Structure 1
Amino acid sequence: MRVSVAGEDTQAGFTLLEILVVIVILGLLIGLVAPAVLRQLGGARVSIAHQSIARLGSVLDMYKLDVGSYPSTDQGLEALVQTPAGVSNWNGPYVQSGQVPVDPWNHPYVYRDPSDRAGHDYDLCSTGPNGTATGDNMICN
Structure 2
Amino acid sequence: MSRTKVFLILVFLLGGVAALLLARRELAREQLDPSPRAAREVGAIQMALERYRIDTGGYPSRREGFDALVHRPYTVSSTYWHGPYIQWRENRLLDPWGRPYRYRVMSDGHGVAYTLGAEGAPGGAGEEQDLWGTSEAARAAAAGKTP
Instruction: Name the TM-score class by shorter chain.
Output: 0.5 to 0.7
Query: Structure 2, unaligned stretches of length 5 or more?
Result: 1-27, 134-147
> 2:71 matched to 1:79?
no
Sequence identity (%) = 33
Q: Which residue of 2 aligns with 1:139?
A: 131
Calculate the TM-score normalised by the size of structure 1.
0.59
Residue 14 of structure 2 is matched in structure 1 by none
Unaligned runs of 5+ in 1: 1-37
Q: Aligned residue for 1:108?
A: 100
Larger radius of gyration: 1
Q: Tell me: CA distance 1:90–1:103, structure 2 relative to 1, closer, same or farther (3 Å).
A: same
Give the structure 2 partner of residue 42 of structure 1: 32
Paired position in structure 2 for 1:124: 113
For 2:97 and 2:68, the matched residues in 1 are separated by 22
Deviations 1:40-90 (A, max 9, x none): 6232x1000001111111111111111110111111111111111211121
Q: What residue number does 2:145 align with?
A: none
Following the alignment from structure 1 to structure 2, what is the Cα–Cα distance between the partners of residues 104 and 40? 10
- Once residues 61 and 123 of structure 2 are traced to their aligned partners in structure 1, the CA distance between those partners, rounded to angstroms, is 20
Amino acid at match of 1:62: R
| TM-score, scaled to structure 2 | 0.57
Q: Deviations over 1:82-127 (max 9, x none)?
A: 11121112111112347342211221111011259xxx93331112
Aligned to 1:76, the other structure's residue is in SS state: coil
